[in-house]
Structure 1
Amino acid sequence: MTHAQHHTPATADTTAGTTIAERQPRAFFWKFALAYIGTCLVWAGPSQLLLANQMIAVRPDSYENALALLMMCGGATAVASSLIVGVISDRSRLSNHSAWARRWGKRFPWIMLAVPLASLGMLALSFTPPYWSLVVLWCLIQCFVAFMTNNLFTITADVVPQKRFGAISSVLGVTYVLGLVGGTAIASLFPLNWAYIIIAGLALGLVIQLGFGPGAIDPAVNQSTVDEQAEFGAIVLGSDSETEKLPLSAYRNYWTVFLARFVMHATQYTALFYLLYYLRDYIGVGDPDTWVLILTVVFAVVTMVTAAVSGTLSDKLERRRIFLILAALTMAGATVIMTFVDAVTFVVVAAVFLGAAWGMFSAVEQAMINESLPSKINRARDVSIMTLAQGTANMVAGLFAAAGLKYLGGYPGLYQACAIACIVAAVLAFTIRSSR
């Protein structure tokens, strides 16, 4: 088969203006879900259990501080990587002029490079190297994960039609939880070295399959969903003025979505940061470890069910903002419950509220991001910058939680502040105009 013959179907489909998500939506959505689960496994297993256990072995006298430093370095690497991943994906030769790009489009070639490197990093971690080698390896893996996840997120904007943005957003919400639970389960059920090996193999297979078989990614790309939006970001971040002229009213919707997303993630992380201590010291349960597991399972199940329903519903109603507003207010209700209760039964109710809130939010989060992207040539850059809302929220949640306990009167004041932050997110949602 000649090169031209090999790529004829993709070329024809591209000129017809249809993407793989339009031609084979069911197959593509399943393949995309599996690929995202694979990326989640790479960070979930190590960050939940494996690295913590290794710290006990390599730094037995200071494993808490050693783990905190390692995770901080990894988080900083992820944030820094996100600043460059999008620009590379948009502008590099591999994305635009390679044989891989002609077969798979701009984003998947970088995923093809990153996932085997991440898997090799996992294999290296399985040998439990000295502490600073662990830190370096984990930072490298975080960099590779950034190339995987940010390009997968951009694929949703590239190929999924706007009328299915809610569906793909709910896929991300459900598979995130599945990847988190799956990575934790593998780390719990297998010896440490085998857990790393299994995660490395599963991640490689699950991610790579997106490029092969029915529903595989191809070069066909949607046009921007909101071409008339204004770009303040062009001034701040730079833009190609000869190929793309955007007015000066700024990535207004984009930055509003960014802020709302940051507030939601920061509130969620802050509310759960001291959950073990909250149950032990404030509620006074006898077995806080077990109750953390119970609450996590309740939260995960409710999140997945709510996300699956809300994403499809948002597509049918052609509405996104109402789901974000309801999610913010429901999360506010959950944190208010945690403020006033003194029995673990009510904490379970709060976990149900939190799961419902997070499910609704997950179901429209990526949809609203995609709808706020005005730039055609800087799409991956903007998606990558948007991921900083989650990354920075995760990094500062511990500081917010500690400050709340110290300066706001303990757990009641901390959770009241979380409720107020959720109301702020709801107000921000009202001002977003890129989504209905």
Structure 2
Amino acid sequence: MTTLPTPAATGPHDEPTAPASTRFIALYAFGQLGLWAALLTPISVTLSVKVGAIAPDTKATSLGLVLSVGAFLSMAITPIWGNLSDRTTSRFGRRRPWLAGGAVSGAAGLLIMALAQDVPTILIGWCVTQVGYNAAQAALNAINPDHIPERQRGRVSGILGLMSNVGILAGTFITTSVSSSTFLMFLLPGVLAFIALGLLIAFLPDRPADRSTLGPFRPLDLLRSLWVNPFAHRDFGWAFAGRFLIFTGNAFKLTFGFYVITDRLGYSPVEAVSLVFTATLVFTGGSLLTATIGGWLSDRLERRKIFVLVASLVMGVGLLTLGFTTTYPQYLLGSLILGMGTGVYMAVDMALVVRVLPNPDNAAKDLAVFQIANSLPQSLAPLIAPLFLTIGGGDQNYPAAFTAALVFAVLGALTVIPIRKVR
């Protein structure tokens, strides 16, 4: 097996120092792209289409149930996968087995949803998908502190942050191309993830965990995987709170953006699939415009906090624009503003988070705990959104819901101020 030259620590406590190669970064980014295409496309498009076709009278409630249960499962299982990855002593390394297993089981979940004929089966398939792809995500997250030196993390995090946007773009492009087949709309993003993760697995310079540094494994350790003391590690706690609040606001758009186009703007579901792709293209263009520049400038100035704060506020403006839109061009403007803020945020916030990790030896576990801040909002947003959607009667008060999303974004911006370890 050929591996790419990339920095590797000589011991479990060592930070990587040599710069990561361009080829390594490209394969790392492609792996992230494939995973996000498979995991986020169902949230943004295909689950809305499938649930709307199977349960048109209860589509919002049914979709909220499926996404909430899946996200809660993701929240609980991802730190466990991260802990087990940190402790994996396989000769194939401690990240490769979880990347491979996650790719296979995630694709199996997509297949279940593609064949589903009722909401309970969709729910089962989504849970399998979440369990699989979050195992791979736990390993992917840990590659950053494993192999990327501090002086490159802003730029590399900017590229990686873009991959969630490009992944959704790739996924929605695929669904638009095969919109006549719900089966292929689910399955083809999984094929992309399988190829992307397979290439990364083939060339990843991985190594097993050092047995001499591992204590005895106890079942209770799995429960401890879910917890990092925010009082003992205050900077990590504030970073977690900020990501949670920002992603709660963003989850309103991810979950209900499709229905804004159909319910508020009056387009049919078939038309909305294409319109979501166009909006995602605009969003990604905005992210591309700001992410690379923001990451580079953050590295150059050796500043993280101000970039995260301003980007969070810009995201809030974009969310508010989406909620009050009355025409599709306004929806595209909101997508552009949200994308520009998201580009800088994803570029710099991950570099900030890696810097405040409690324990470099448990990078996969700690980053998987941090992943809860990404996944929990996917559960909460569908549950709390109806509180705002029903203001004034009915269930389509999207301006009220997206105003709440703005509030979450502003609160998330403020949480960066108390962080001390990072400037």
TM-score tier (shorter): 0.7 to 0.9
Gaps of 5+ in 2: 210-220
What SS is found at the alignment partner of 2:18?
helix
Residue in 2 aligned with 1:300? Answer: 284
SS in 1 for 2:101: helix
Mapped to 2, the partners of 1:201 and 1:8 lie a distance apart of 23
Partner of 1:259: 241
Who is 1:327 aligned against? 311
* Partner residue, 2:422: 435
CA distance in 2, matches of 1:419, 1:271: 11
Please say which of residues 399-408 and 351-360 is displaced more in the overlay: 399-408
Indicate if the aligned counterparts of 1:177 and 1:304 stay in contact, CA closer than 8 A.
no
**Match runs of 1:8-27 below 5 Å:** 14-15=9-10, 22=18, 24-27=20-23
CA–CA separation in structure 2 for the residues paired with 1:199 and 1:285: 28
TM-score by length of 2: 0.79
Match of 2:216 in 1: none
Which digits, 9 at most, give the CA deviation of each residue in 1:200-240, with x for residues without a partner? 33222210211324xx332399xxxxxxxxxxxx9x9589x
Matched residue, 1:211: 201
Structure 1, 389-398 or 54-63: larger mean CA deviation: 54-63
Question: Which stretches in structure 1 are left out of the alignment for 5+ residues?
Answer: 1-5, 222-233, 240-245
Please, what TM-score do these two structures have when normalized by structure 1?
A: 0.77
413, 416, 422: which one aligns with 1:426: 413
How far residue 312 of structure 1 moved from its aligned partner, in angstroms, is 1.9
CA–CA distance in 2 between the matches of 1:274 and 1:195?
19
Cα distance in structure 2, aligned partners of 1:147 and 1:421:
28
Are 1:149 and 2:149 counterparts? no
The residue type equivalent to 2:134 in the other structure is: A
AA matched with 2:72: A
Judging changes above 3 Å, is the alpha-carbon distance between structure 1 residues 109 and 336 closer, same or farther for their aligned structure 2 residues?
closer
Q: Deviations over 1:56-101 (max 9, x none)?
A: 666577555544433333222212212412222223xxx13x2112
Decide whether the 8 Å contact of 1:33 with 1:175 is kept in 2.
yes
What CA distance in whole angstroms lies between the structure 2 residues aligned with 1:411 and 1:54?
22
Name which of structure 1's ranges 359-368 and 58-67 shifts more when overlaid on structure 2.
58-67
Read off the aligned partner of 1:372 and give its amino acid letter: V
Q: Quick check: 1:110–1:148 contact (8 Å CA) kept in 2? A: yes
Residue aligned with 1:29, SS: helix
Structure 1 residue 354 corresponds to structure 2 residue 338: yes
Alpha-carbon distance change, 196 to 424 in structure 1, aligned in 2, over 3 angstroms: closer
* 1:228 paired residue number: none
Query: 2 CA distance for matches of 1:30 and 1:121?
Result: 27
Matched with 1:37 is 33
Residue number among 187, 198, 208 corresponding to 2:188 in the alignment: 198
Change (3 A) 1:319 1:295: same
Cα deviations across residues 374-410 of structure 1 (Å, max 9, x unaligned)? Answer: 2133322211111111111122223443323445995
Q: Distance in 2 between matches of 1:341 and 1:201?
A: 35
CA separation in 2, counterparts of 1:344 and 1:52? 19
Larger radius of gyration: 1
For residues 340-380 of structure 1, give each alpha carbon's deviation from its aligned partner in whole angstroms, at most 9, with x where no partner exists.
88776555444332221111111112111111102133322
Instruction: Report whether the alignment pairs 1:87 with 2:74.
Output: no
1:170 aligns with 2:158: yes
CA distance 1:199–1:346, shift in 2 (3 Å): closer
User: Residue 330 and residue 247 in structure 1: after superposition, are their counterparts in 2 closer, same or farther (change >3 A)?
Assistant: closer
2:375 paired with 1:391: yes
Kept in 2: contact 1:165–1:367 (CA 8 A) = yes
Aligned-partner Cα distance in 1 for 2:398–2:59: 26
Q: Which of these residues, 59, 72, 79, is aligned with residue 76 of structure 1?
A: 72
Amino acid aligned to 1:251: H
State the shift of 1:178 in Å.
1.4
Q: Which residue of structure 1 lines up, in the alignment, with residue 102 of structure 2?
A: 114
* Contact 2:389-2:401 at 8 Å conserved across structures: yes
Secondary structure in 1 aligned to 2:361?
Answer: coil
The alignment-based identity, stated in percent, is 24
Question: What secondary structure does 1:250 align onto?
Answer: coil
Deviations 1:126-171 (A, max 9, x none): 4446654443232112101110112101111221111111122112
